[in-house]
Chains A and B, each alone.
Chain A
Amino acid sequence: MKSPLASTALFHLGPVPVTEAVAVTWAIMALLAAGAWLATRRLSLQPSRLQACLELIVETVDSQIRDTMQAEPPPYRAFIGTLFAFIFVANWSSLVPGVEPPTAHLETDAALALLVFIAVIWFGIRAGGVGGYLATFASPSPLMIPLNFIESLTRTFSLLVRLFGNVMSGVFVIGIVLSLAGLLVPIPLMALDLLTGAVQAYIFAVLAMVFIAGALGEAKSNKRTPT
């Protein structure tokens, strides 16, 4: 059995190896982008069932952003919503026979965590400026600067590890059970893996919102009362 920790290059584009996770990610990107384009071609004020479902998704994401971040959704909707949609679809891509979820690979989860890390910095600076954002590391005391800096790294690392651990473990367990018990035995575990995948997508998106909201709140307060 192949180790889920190993990344196998399908082919190379020059010096760049294209792994299976990258290829599946491209497929997911194509699927989501094409689906979004097809679904939103004929939007109207009198919504169809499909349009109503799409609007329900958007409004749900907006509602979550409002509830979690206490902010208006438009600046964060695309990032948070896309994170959730990509992780959700990537986790559930294991339903396709022979496809391994990209999130079961460390590089994909690290890329997602890295994007969240960058987004926290970006939205923090946009809300409070560079000074305001950097001042958040000195909150509540300059003595906390090292700890806050380490915290910003470790929480990003925790995002990476949490998602990777849950998805990878699911795939790993299903692979082991499949190799030991037979064809239909892993089905309950696969159903549990689907639930875990949906929950992990939600948790990742919510944690991203929490981290960004934390940076926003502190940066804004530092901008209003410069020290």
Chain B
Amino acid sequence: MTIDWWTLGLQTVNVAVLVWLLARFFWRPVSAMIAERQVAAGKELAEAAARQAEAEKALADIAATRAGLAKEREALLVAAAAEADKERAARLEKATREIAALHDAAKAAVTKEREAALASWRGHAATLAVEIAARLLKRLDGAAVRKAFLDELLHEIGGLTQAQRGDLAGGALELVSAVPLTDAEQAQCRAGLAQALGPDLQLAFTVDAAQIAGFVLRGPRLAVSDSWRGDLDRILAELGDDA
């Protein structure tokens, strides 16, 4: 067995050239395409991971927003409940005040009305009582009664001060009686008054049935009354003041 060195050399060169040819046309292009696909796949995986992370972040944001909405809703409900409680309390207090005010006003109105009614009835009662008393006292209008009233009038004039007496006696006097006086009674009155006020007395006699009984002595600036009408008016005024 011999070796053909030319063939050995040619085959060596041939295989080396084949190595170069396949490296040029097969191994490098295919491996480059594999690497390119791996890069593309890696890029797509990275993009997918980024999208996934983005989606997870969006999901977390939505969850946080939902939690925030729930919290906000709860806070709004609490605030609304507190506001409602406050409004209810305010309205309740206002209603209570209004009720109390209405109650007080009604009570005051009732009291006032009752007082007015009471006063009215008291006035009617007093008027009626005075009327009854006046009618009863008319029956007592006799000479003795007039004498007693004259004495009482003179007693009152006697109780006046000197200045009051001056005011009373400073002009014409008018002696009012419930019934016309007899001459004797007029003389008796004139004598008593002259004694109390002085001798220069200008006295005129008038009749006023409203006086019931008694006398009213009217001067230019002062009047002295001692009649049942005056007493009843005073009593009636006192009853009115008491009411």
Q: Is B29 an interface residue when CB atoms closer than 8 A count as contact?
A: yes
How close is A48's CB to chain B, nearest CB, in angstroms?
12
Assembled-state Cα–Cα distance A58/B26 (Å): 9
Q: Is A59 an interface residue when CB atoms closer than 8 A count as contact?
A: yes
Interface residues of B, dominant DSSP: helix
Q: Mark A19-40, 1 if CB is under 8 A from B, else 0.
A: 1011001101100110011011
Residue of A nearest to B21 (CB): A33
Q: Which listed residue (B16, B30, B36) contacts A58, Cβ 8 A?
A: B30
Number of interface residues of A (CB under 8 A): 49
Q: Is the CB of B11 within 8 A of A33?
A: no
Which chain B positions have C-beta within 8 A of A102? Answer: 11
Q: Is B132 an interface residue when CB atoms closer than 8 A count as contact?
A: no
Residue of A nearest to B18 (CB): A29
Q: Which listed residue (A18, A54, A78, A106) contacts B19, Cβ 8 A?
A: A78
Q: Is the CB of A33 within 8 A of B18?
A: yes
Q: Is the CB of B17 within 8 A of A40?
A: no
Q: Is A130 an interface residue when CB atoms closer than 8 A count as contact?
A: no
Q: Is the CB of A59 within 8 A of B21?
A: no
Q: Which listed residue (B7, B15, B25, B36) contacts A115, Cβ 8 A?
A: B15
Assembled-state Cα–Cα distance A82/B21 (Å): 9
Q: Is the CB of B15 within 8 A of A112?
A: yes
Q: Is B12 an interface residue when CB atoms closer than 8 A count as contact?
A: yes
Residue of A nearest to B37 (CB): A45
Residue of A nearest to B31 (CB): A58
Q: Is the CB of A108 within 8 A of B18?
A: no
Q: Which listed residue (B4, B16, B26, B36) contacts A45, Cβ 8 A?
A: B36
Assembled-state Cα–Cα distance A83/B1 (Å): 25
In the complex with contacts A5-B1, A55-B33, A86-B11 CB distance below 8 A: no
Q: Is the CB of B7 within 8 A of A17?
A: yes
What 10 A-B pairs come out closest when comparing CB atoms?
A78-B23, A111-B11, A36-B26, A107-B7, A111-B12, A36-B25, A33-B21, A107-B8, A40-B29, A82-B19
Q: Is A77 an interface residue when CB atoms closer than 8 A count as contact?
A: yes
Q: Is A220 an interface residue when CB atoms closer than 8 A count as contact?
A: no
Q: Is the CB of A16 within 8 A of B10?
A: yes
Which chain B positions have C-beta within 8 A of A105? Answer: 7
Residue of B nearest to A108 (CB): B11
How close is A20's CB to chain B, nearest CB, in angstroms?
10
- Taking CB atoms and an 8 Å cut-off, the chain B residues in 123-145 that contact chain A are none
* Contact-residue bracket for chain B: 20 to 34
- Which residues in A have some Cβ–Cβ distance to B below 8 Å? 5, 7, 15-19, 21-22, 25-26, 28-29, 32-33, 36-37, 39-40, 43-45, 47, 51, 54-55, 57-59, 62, 74, 77-79, 81-83, 85-86, 102, 105-108, 110-112, 114-115
Q: Is B102 an interface residue when CB atoms closer than 8 A count as contact?
A: no
Q: Is the CB of A21 within 8 A of B11?
A: yes
Q: Is the CB of B27 within 8 A of A77?
A: yes
Q: Is the CB of B25 within 8 A of A7?
A: no
Q: Which listed residue (A26, A51, A77) contacts B14, Cβ 8 A?
A: A26
Which chain A positions have C-beta within 8 A of B19? Answer: 78-79, 82-83, 115
Which chain A positions have C-beta within 8 A of B17? Answer: 29
Q: Is B28 an interface residue when CB atoms closer than 8 A count as contact?
A: yes
How close is A50's CB to chain B, nearest CB, in angstroms?
11
Which chain A positions have C-beta within 8 A of B15? Answer: 25, 82-83, 86, 111-112, 115
In the complex with contacts A29-B17, A78-B19, A106-B3, A37-B25 CB distance below 8 A: yes
Q: Is the CB of A40 within 8 A of B7?
A: no
Q: Is the CB of A54 within 8 A of B30?
A: yes
Residue of B nearest to A112 (CB): B15
Given A82-B23, A115-B16, 18 extra CB contacts under 8 A: A15-B6, A16-B10, A21-B11, A29-B14, A33-B21, A37-B25, A40-B25, A43-B33, A45-B33, A47-B33, A81-B27, A82-B22, A82-B27, A107-B3, A107-B8, A107-B11, A110-B11, A114-B8
Which chain B positions have C-beta within 8 A of A47? Answer: 33, 37
Q: Is the CB of B1 within 8 A of A106?
A: yes
How close is B165's CB to chain A, nearest CB, in angstroms?
146
Residue of A nearest to B35 (CB): A74
Which chain B positions have C-beta within 8 A of A54? Answer: 26, 30
In the complex with contacts A7-B4, A36-B25, A82-B18, A115-B12 CB distance below 8 A: yes
